[in-house]
Structure 1
Amino acid sequence: MKWLEAMVRRALNDPYLDELTRKLEYKYAHIFLYQKDDILLTEKEFDDVLRFADILSRSDKADGRNKAYKIVSLLYDVYKDNVQFQYYANSILTKLGNFASLSIAVGNSEIVDTIETALEKQIKKTYQKVPFNDLVFTDPQYKLFEAMKDSNHYSFSGPTSFGKSFIMDAFIQYIITERHGIDNIVILVPTRALINQVTARLKKTITNKNYKVLAHPVVPMIYRNRMLKYVFVFTPERLISYLGEKENPVINYMFVDEAHKIIAEKDSRSPLYYHAILLAERKSIKLYFASPNIPNAHVFLQLFEKSIDEQMIIKESPVAQNRFFIDYVEGKGRMFTETGEDIIFQDLGKKEQDYVGKLLRKLGKNCKNIVYCNTVADTIDFALKFSKGLPEQNDARIDSLIELIKSYIHKDYFLIDCLKKGVAFHFGRLPQRIRERIERLFEEKVIDYMFCTSTLLEGVNLPAKNIFIFSNAIGNSKFSDVDFWNLAGRAGRLSKELSGNIICVRIEDKKNRWDNPNKDLEVVRNKKIEAVKPLVINGQKNFYTNLDYSLRNKDFTRANYSQTEKEVWDHYANIVFSHQASKTDSILMSNFLRKNADGKKLLERMEKENHIPLYILEQCSNIKVIYQNKVWEKIKESESAFPNEITTQTCLEVLEKMYDYYNWGEEESKGRNPMVKQRTRLQYFAVLMYSWMKSTPLNMMIIYIINYYKRKGEIWDRNEMVIFNPNDRNQINLIINNLISDIDNVLRFKIKNYFLNYYLIVSEKVGKQNAGANWAEYVEYGTTDDIIIELQNIGLPRHLSMMIKDDYIDFLTFEDGMLVDLNARELIENIDCKKYKNEIEELKEMIL
C-alpha cells in the first residue's frame, strides 16, 4: 500500500510532529530529572500526537514504527489511566505486534477493540504464537523466526532488547519437535561466565525428555547408555576439544551467540572463536549467528563462505530508550532527542557532598539500576561509597547470600558490606555461584543497584530500567559503537516497562570518563553503528604482513602495538599454519597467500620441519608452532608428561619446565595483566595450583594464599610492592579477587592450554599408555578425583560434586569405575538441610 507508506513519510517529515515529540521529551526529562510534571500538553497536542503515532504504527519500516512506540512510551507515565491514551495504545501496540508492552500500557482496562484491532490481534496471536508456550512473537521476531525455519544457515542482528536468546530457544524447540529429536545442537558462548546462565535457561525451556543439556566436551557414560540427544553449551575451546574426539556424537546445528566477538580486534580470544567455528563448518554443521546491532550481519556468513542472502538486520526495538548526559565538571546536563536537537539543562550537575550518591538515589528510586564503572577497582569503590549512604536492608534472601559469602569466600569480602544495603557489584572475577545468586536477587528486585564492569558486554542477560555509564571505555580503550549500544541497550526490560533510561555521567575530569564530551557523545547522540570490517577479510593494520612476521618469528611492523594485537596476530598465524597442514581452503588462507608473495614457500618449509600432528595443532592453536616443535625435540622416549605425585614442589617443578619450554618470560610477561612478570611468580601459582587440583574448597584456598603472603611479607598493590598487612581489608579483598581471576583466567585457561599441549605431544611421542596422568584435566576440573570429574561432566559445579562425593556417594552407581546412575530424589531427600542449606536448593534446580 504505497499511499499508506507515503502518508507515513509525510508524517515523519512533518515539523509539527518534531515539535510535539520534542515537547514530550522535554516533559519526560522534567519528570525524570526533577520529579516535576510542569510541562503541559494542550488537549489538541495530546490528540494530534496520538494520531501521528497511529499513522506511524502502520508503517512497514522500522523508523516509523519505532517513532510510534516512542510516543506511546513518552506518554505512558502521565496518561496511563487516560481512556483515549489506552484506546490508541491498544491499537498502536497491536499493529506493532508488541503484546508484551500492550499488557503494560493498557493493563486491566476494559478497552473495547475496534473491528480492525480485534481482527489484527486475533490473527497475530494465532499466527505469531511462540511454539510450545503461550507467548506471542513481536512482528520482527516472527518474521525472523519464519525466515530461519527455511534456511540451512543464517545471520541476524538486532537491538540488545530484541530477544535474541528468546528467538534461539524457540528455534531449538522447533528443530527438536519438527525433526523428531534426531539432532544434536550447540550454543556457542564467548566465556565460561555465560555457560551456567544459558544451561539453566535451556533446562527450563527444553521439554523433550530425550534431550540433555551439557556444558563439558565429554558425554558421560550415564547418558551414553540411554541413547539420548544433546544440547551443548560450549565456549570456543570446549567446542574444539569436543570436535577433536572422534567418538563424540555428531553435531547438526550450532548457534553462535554474541557473534561480533569473532571479529573483535581488541579481544585476544577472537581468533579462537574463528578457529572453532571453522572447524565446525568443516564438519557440515549448520551455522546460525546472532549479534547485537551489527548493520552488516552478512559478514559472518561471508567469513565462513556461506551465501550472504540468508541474513536479517532488525532495527525495530521492542523497548524505547531515553538518553541523558549529566556533566558534573561543567555543571550542566542534556537530553538527546529524537529530532537530533539536544535539550540543555543548566542547573544540573552541581557538585556537592555525596553528589554521585544523591544522583543515583534520586533517579534510581524504586527501580532497577545498573552502574557501569569499567575497572574492577572503580566498580568496588563506587559500590562501597554509595552503599554507605543507604539504610540496612532486612531481607532473608540477602542475609542468606551474606552467610554463603562468609562461608564460601571470606568474612571480610567487601560484597558483604554492599549487600547489607541492598547493593551489589558484578564482574568476571566473582565466583559463578555467587554471581548467579546476585543476578537472581537483582532480577527479583531484592537488589536495586548493580555496579559492574564490562562483564555485561559478554552477553549476561541483566536488563534494568536505568543504565548509568560512568566511563566511556573498556579497559584503556574507548567504547566502540557496537560495545556502547550493547551495554546501553540493556536500559529497559521487555514485558516489565515501556522504556529505559541511558544516563552518561561525567563525574570528574579524568581520562576515559567522558573527558572529551563533544567527541565521546557522538555515539550516544547519533545512535549510528558503523559496519564492522573483519581483519580476516579486509586485512587492515598490516594484518597479513604481521601474520607473516609471526610465522617467521620476526618483530612486527611496529614496536608499539598492544599486547592484545600481538596475541591476535600470533594466534591467527598459528591457524594459517594449521590450514596448511590440513589443506583447508579458507578466506584466511587465501588472503594470506595473496598478500604475501613468499607465503606459500614459507608454509611449505615449515610443514617439512614440523613434527606436530594436525589434531594437536588444531587443539592448541594459541601456542606457537615453533615452541611445540621444540617441546617435541626435548621429550625423551621414556618420559611421562607429569609427575605421579602432586605436591607444591612438583607443581613448581612443572611450572618451571613450562616456563622454559614455552618461553613464558617473553610470551606471558607483557600487557596489562601478564601471567608472570617475574619467574618468582611461579611460586605463587604452585601453591594455587596444588590447592586447586587437590579439591581444596575456595575458602580454604583463600586462607592458604593469605598465609603465603604472610610468609612472603609483601604484596603487589596498585603498581608497587608494599608490606603485607593481614588486617588490611583492602589487601585481603585484593588477594581474593586476584585468586579467583587467576583460577579462571590463568589456571583453567592459559596454564591448562599449555599443559594440554605438552600432554598431547608427550602422548604422541611415547604413547598414551606411557604418558601418565593428564594434569590439564585436573586443572580444568579443580580435582584429581575421577568421581568429582564425572559429576561435573553431568552438569554439577565443583562444590556440589565435592559434597556428593564426600558425604553422599551411596546414591551413585558405578560400573567398571564409570558413573551409570544417580538417584537424584533420594539424594536430595537425605541431604542434611542444616549443614547444606544453600547446596540443597542449588541441587534441586540442577538435577530435578
Structure 2
Amino acid sequence: MNFFEELTEMALNDEYLKSLIYKAETIYGQTIFNSDELNQIFNSKEYYDLLRFADILSRSKKPEARNTALKIISLLYELEGYKNDNDFKNFSESVLTKLGNFPSISIVGSNHEDNNDEEIEIDKILKSTMQQAPNSKYIFTDAQYDVFEKMKDSNHYSFSGSTSFGKSFIFEAFMNYIIDERNASDNIAILVPTRALINQVTIKLKSEIKNKKYKIVSHPKVPLLYKNEGNRFIFVFTPERLISYFSDSNNPSINYLFVDEAHKLLSDKDQRTPLLYHSLMQAKRKSVKLYFASPNIPNTEVFLRLFGNSIEESTSITESPVAQNRFFIDCIDKKAVMFSDFGKDIPLNGLKYTKNEVENLIEVVNKLGADKQNIIYCNTIEYTVKHAREFSSHLQNNSSKRIEELIALIKESVHDQYFLIECLKKGVAFHFGKIPQRIREGIESLFRSGEIRFLFCTSTLLEGVNLPAKNIFILSTKIGMNYMDEVNFWNLAGRAGRLAKDLSGNIFCARIIDQEGYWKKTKEIEKVKNKKITEIESPLMKKNDKNLYKNISNSLSGQPFTNKNLSANEKKYINMYGNILVYHDIVKSDSILRNRFFEKNKDARITLEKVTSTIKVPDYIIAQSANIRIDIQNKIFSTESTDQLPEGTDYKSCLQMLNILYDDYEWQKEESIGLNPLVKNREHLNYYAVLINSWVNSKPLKIIISNTIKYFDEHDKDLNIRANQYETFNKENATHINILINNLISDIENAIRFKIKSYVNNYILLLVERGVEVKSNWSDFLEYGTIDRFIIEIQNIGFPRHLATFLKENYPHCFQFVEGEITEFDTHKLKNEINTEKYKNEFNELSKLLEWT
C-alpha cells in the first residue's frame, strides 16, 4: 500500500472527517428545506480541513474514497458562500481532475489566475490526451476510461455502473473505435428494450458516429438505397426486430451487438425477457460479439455466463460521477429526514404539512424543487396524470414559444381536450408510454432545455429514456401494482443529478398517499437508507428456480402448472421459454436453457422427443414465433383447408382477418385472461377492426382518434378505465376522451404492431411454407400502418410514419421509386423546396433526422 492509500484508509476511518461531512449534510438539508434551525457555517479550520481531505481522497484508487471526495466538493458547492471562493475553485478543480471528472470542472469554474499548481495542469494535459473519447470532444472519466480500455481487449464484455455513469457514451465511443480500428469493415447492432427508444437512439447515433459509410437502420429490412451505396450498418433493433432480421439469410452479417439495460434479462415476470434471451441466443449462434451494460448490478458476469462466455471480461463500477443526497418526507406522520452515511438520520423541518394530499404534493415538490429540474415518479398512469393536473392547477402560467408550439401540435395531431395541454401552460408535463411518440419526444426536448421544470412520469424512465434531473421525487415503491426491486429502484433514483450540469442530485422519497406501496412500510424506507444492491441471478440459472423447469416440462406435456395461482403473464412467460427450449432442441443449440432442462428433469429427453416428433412446422418459423404455442402452429400448418387472409383492408376485411386469428389461434383461451387481455371476447374484435381499418389505410393519428371516439359513442361501448374496470363511454367527459386516447396509443403499439402482427406474421409464414400464395402482406400493413408500398419504403430509410406519409403526399419527386423500392433520395432538393413556414414542425423533425442543423 503506497503513502496516499495509507492516508486514504486513515481518512475514511477518521471520526473528525465524518463529523465534518455530517455537518455539511446537515447545513445543506436545512438550507433546501428552509429550516428555522439552520446551523452555523464552517469555521476557517473546518473549511480548509474538508478541502484537504477531499484532495487526499481524490488521489486514491478506491471508489469509496473517490466518491467521498466528490461528496465533499458537491456539498460545499451547494452551500452559501463557498462556490465563488478562489480556494474552493482551486481545490475543486484539482479534485475533479484527479477523478477524471472533466465534465464537472466547468460547473465549479476554473481559476487560472490564482492557480499555479503544476500538478493540476500536468494531470489535465495527460488525462485530456490519454482519455479523449474517439472522434469526440469529450474526455472519459477515469472509471469510464478503465472500462473502455478493457473492452478494447475483449471479444465480449459486461459492465455495470450508476445511472449517471454514461454507459451509452462508452458504447458510442467503442463503436467509433471499432469503426476506425477495423477500417469500417463491421456491421454493428444496438438492442433497445422498446420500440419507443429507437428514434432517440437513432438520432443520437447520427450525431456521434462520424464515419459517413455507416447508415443507421431500424427495420429488419436493409433498404436497397443503402445497399446500392456499399455502406456498412448500425442497426437499432428491439428483440423482435433482431429475430426477424436474423430470419433472412440474405441480410448482412452482424459482427458486434450492444445490449443496454441488460438487467431486463434477469426478470422472472416480464414477458419480454424470454424474447430478449431468445434474440441474444440467435446472435450467439451466429458468432456475434456480445457486450452488455446494466445499472448497478454487482455481479455483471451473470450475463456472460447466461450465454456461455468466459466471465473474466466483466466489471462493476461503484464510482459515480455525480453525488446524491437521500431524503425521506412523511406527510402523513409530519416529519422529514436526510439519510447520511456519516452519522445518524438528520431531522429536517421547514415544510408545512396538512391532511390534504394535493396540498402536501404542492408543498413538497414546489418548495424543494424551486428553480430546478424535477422528475416526479408515480407508479400508474392514472396517478401520473392526476398529480400533474392537480399540481399544475395551483401554478401561474409559465409558457414559452416552444411550449406553445408543442401545444399547437397536440391540438393539431391529437385532440384539443388532451390534458397535457393544460399542464404545459404551467411548465408542467407528464410522460408515459401511452403518449404519442411525437409528443413524447417534444416533452423530452423541452425538459432537457429547462422550459418544462416539473415532469410527472411512470416507469418509462426505466426503459432507457435519458432524462436526468437535479431532483427526483419518488411517490411510490411500486411499478404498476408490483413492488420495485433494488435494481429498478436505484436505476430510477439514479436519475437525480445530471453529469456536466450538477455535482449532485437529490432523491426525495415522499409519503403523500396513505396506502400500501407508497412508503408506508419500514422495509421500503430501509431500501433507500441502506443503498444496498444484492447479487441477482437469471431465473434460468437460479438454484431455487421456483419450479420453472418443472413448469416448462408441464407446459410442453399439457400438464397443469405446479402453482394453480400463476397469473396469465407468468403462464405466458413459462410457455415462451418452453417454445424456445423446443427450438433449441431441434437445432441442437448448446444453451443454458436446454442444458439446465436436462439437469432438472429426469424425463427431459422423453418429454422433448414426444413434442419434437409431432412438429411439422419448420424451425425457421418456430424461431420467429416464440410467443405462440407450438401445438397451435402445428395444428394450423397441418390443416389443409386454411382460410386465406382477405385482400382488401376495409372494415369488413379487417374484421374477417381478426376472426381467422381469433379462431385458429384460440384467442378465447389464449388471449382473454389476465389484467390486460388482448381481447375480452369476440365482440372486442369490432373495436380492433375499426382501429386497424384507419391504421393500415394511412389515416393520421387525429383521424384515428376521431373515428374511435365516434365508434365508442355510437355503440355505447364500455371504456377500460383501469385494469378490468369499465365505464360506458361518454364523449362529453374529458377524462373519458383522455383515457380512450391513451388506450388507443397502447393498442396500436402493443396490440396491433406487436401481438396481432406476430400472429399474422406466423400465419403468413405457415401459408407460404405450404405453397399458398399470400396476396396481401398484412404483417407489413400492421407494422408500418399503411398499405402504400412507397410509404413503407420511406419508413424503412428511417422516417416515422407521419413523416413518411407527409413526404409521399408533398414531396414524392425527391425520391426515385422503382419496382417497389427507393433507389434514390435527393435530400438537398427536399431541403430547398420544403415550405418551412407552412410545415415548421415537419421541417424541424426532418432537420434532426437528416442532420440539416
Q: Same fold by TM (over 0.5)?
A: yes
Question: 1:218-265 CA distances to partner (integer Å, 9 max, x unpaired)?
Answer: 101111111100001000000000011011011110000100011212
Q: What's the counterpart of residue 784 of structure 1?
A: 787
What's the CA shift string for 1:458-505, capped at 9, x where partnerless? 010000000000111001111100000000001000000100000000
Q: Distance in 1 between matches of 2:700 and 2:293?
A: 37
On the 8 A contact 1:185/1:231 being kept in 2, the answer is yes
> What code does the residue aligned with 1:528 have?
K
Structure 2 match to 1:285: 288
Among 433, 442, 446, the alignment partner of 2:447 is 442
Find the aligned partners of 1:108 and 1:690 in 2 and give their Cα distance: 65
Offset at residue 38 of structure 1 (A): 3.9
Contact in 1 for aligned 2:329/2:335 (Cα 8 Å): yes
Verify: 1:165 aligned to 2:161, yes or no: no
- What stretches of structure 2 of length at least 5 have no aligned partner? none
Between 1:264-273 and 1:235-244, the stretch displaced more is 264-273
Paired residue for 1:220? Answer: 223
What does residue 528 of structure 1 align with? 532
Deviates more, 1:118-127 or 1:734-743: 118-127
Residue 660 of structure 1 is matched in structure 2 by 663
The corresponding residue for 2:58 is: 57
How far 1:762 moved relative to its partner? 0.8
Tell me the residue number matched to 2:15. 15
Provide closer, same or farther for how the CA distance between residues 12 and 659 of structure 1 changes in structure 2, counting only shifts above 3 A: same
What secondary structure is seen at the aligned counterpart in 1 of 2:150? helix
> CA deviation digits over 1:390-418, x for unaligned, max 9?
11124110111011001110111001111
C-alpha distance in structure 2 between counterparts of 1:642 and 1:234, whole Å: 28
Letter in 2 for 1:422: G
For 1:3, the equivalent position in structure 2 comes to 3
1:455 paired with 2:460, answer yes
Contact 1:405 1:411 in 2 (8 A): yes
Give me the whole-angstrom Cα distance separating, in 1, the residues matched to 2:114 and 2:92.
Answer: 10
Aligned equivalents of 1:252, 1:140: Cα separation in 2: 26
2:835 is the counterpart of 1:832: yes
2:414 is aligned with 1:409: yes
Kept in 2: contact 1:402–1:419 (CA 8 A):
yes
| Aligned-pair CA distance for 1:106 | 2.9
1:298 to 282, 297, 301: 301
Letter of the structure 2 residue corresponding to residue 163 of structure 1: G
Alpha carbons 1:327, 1:349 under 8 Å: kept: no
Pairing 1:740–2:741 present: no
CA distance in structure 2 between the aligned counterparts of 1:670 and 1:43, rounded to whole angstroms: 68
1:709 maps to 712
Counterparts of 1:795 and 1:673, CA distance in 2: 32
Aligned twin of 1:73: 74
Equivalent residue runs for 1:396-435 within 5 Å: 396-435=401-440
Q: Which residue of 2 aligns with 1:844?
A: 847
Q: Does 1:92 align with 2:70?
A: no
Structure-to-structure mapping, 1:496-645, within 5 angstroms? 496-516=501-521, 518-538=522-542, 540-636=545-641, 641-645=644-648
Kept after mapping to 1: 8 A contact 2:90/2:110: no
CA contact 1:669–1:677 (8 Å) conserved in 2: yes
Amino acid at match of 2:568: Q
Paired residues in the alignment total 843
Secondary structure class of the residue paired with 1:162: coil
1: CA distance, partners of 2:463 / 2:399: 32
Query: Normalising to structure 1: TM-score of the pair?
Result: 0.98
Match of 1:209 in 2: 212
Q: How does 1:135-534 map to 2 (within 5 A)?
A: 135-339=138-342, 341-345=344-348, 348=351, 350-351=353-354, 354-516=359-521, 518-534=522-538
Counterpart Cα distance in 2 of 1:244 and 1:658: 23
For 1:76 and 1:641, the matched residues in 2 are separated by: 70
CA deviation after TM superposition for structure 1 residue 9, in Å: 1.1
Q: C-alpha deviations, 1:409-438, integer Å up to 9, x for none? A: 011100111111111100001111111111
Structure 1: how far apart are the matches of 2:572 and 2:826?
47
In 2, Cα distance between the equivalents of 1:723 and 1:127? 65
SS of 2:770's partner is helix
Are 1:330 and 1:349, in contact at CA under 8 Å, matched by a contact in 2? no
Distance 1:394 1:440 in 2: 15
Comparing 168-177 with 825-834, which one deviates more in the overlay?
825-834
Q: Report the alpha carbon displacement of residue 51 of structure 1 after superposing the two structures with TM.
A: 1.7
Q: Which moved more, 1:506-515 or 1:59-68?
A: 506-515
The Cα offsets for residues 133-163 of structure 1, whole Å up to 9 and x where unpaired, read as 2221100111111111111110000000000
Residue ranges of structure 1 left out of the alignment (5+ in a row): none
* Matched residue type, 1:66: N
Q: Report if the CA contact (8 A) 1:257-1:289 is conserved.
A: yes
Partners of 1:804 and 1:15 lie apart in 2 by: 67
- The Cα of 1:344 is off from its aligned counterpart by 2.1
3-state SS of 2:321 partner:
coil
Match of 1:48 in 2: 49
Contact 2:89 2:111 in 1 (8 A): no
The residue matched to 2:817 in structure 1 has which SS?
Answer: strand
Measured in 1, the distance between the counterparts of 2:331 and 2:409 equals: 39
Indicate if the aligned counterparts of 1:340 and 1:525 stay in contact, CA closer than 8 A. Answer: no
Q: Which amino acid aligns with 1:252?
A: N
1:562 shift after superposition: 2.5
Residue 347 of structure 1: how far off its partner (Å)? 6.0
Select 1:818's aligned residue among 796, 821, 845. Answer: 821
Is contact 1:325-1:504 (8 Å) kept? yes
What is the SS of the residue equivalent to 1:538?
coil
Question: C-alpha separation between the residues in 1 aligned to 2:40 and 2:258?
Answer: 48
> 8 Å contact 1:611–1:632 — kept in the other structure?
yes
Output the CA distance in 2 between the equivalents of 1:489 and 1:722: 38
What per-residue deviation string (whole Å, max 9, x for no partner) do you get for residues 756-798 of structure 1?
A: 111101110124xx12222111100001110010000000010
CA contact (8 A) 2:89 2:109 kept: yes
Greater shift after overlay, 145-154 or 7-16? Answer: 7-16
User: Quick one: distance in 2 between partners of 1:774 and 1:720?
Assistant: 36
SS in 1 for 2:207: helix
2:33·2:350 contact (CA, 8 Å) conserved in 1?
Answer: no
Are residues 39 and 572 of structure 1, via their aligned partners in 2, closer, same or farther at CA, if it must alter by over 3 Å? farther
1:11–1:108 CA distance, 2 compared to 1 (3 A): closer
Q: Deviations over 1:520-554 (max 9, x none)?
A: 01221111101111111115111111111111122
RMSD (Å), alpha carbons: 1.4
> Which residue matches 1:672?
675
Q: Is the 8 A contact 2:267 2:273 kept in 1?
A: yes
Q: Helix, strand or coil: the match of 1:160?
A: coil
Deviation, 1:340, is 5.4
- 1:569–1:392 CA distance, 2 compared to 1 (3 A): same
Tell me by how many angstroms 1:324 deviates: 0.4
Identify if the C-alpha distance between structure 1 residues 349 and 222 changes in structure 2 by more than 3 Å, giving closer, same or farther.
same
CA contact (8 A) 2:352 2:363 kept: no
Letter of the 1:523 counterpart: K
8 Å contact kept, 2:33–2:348:
no
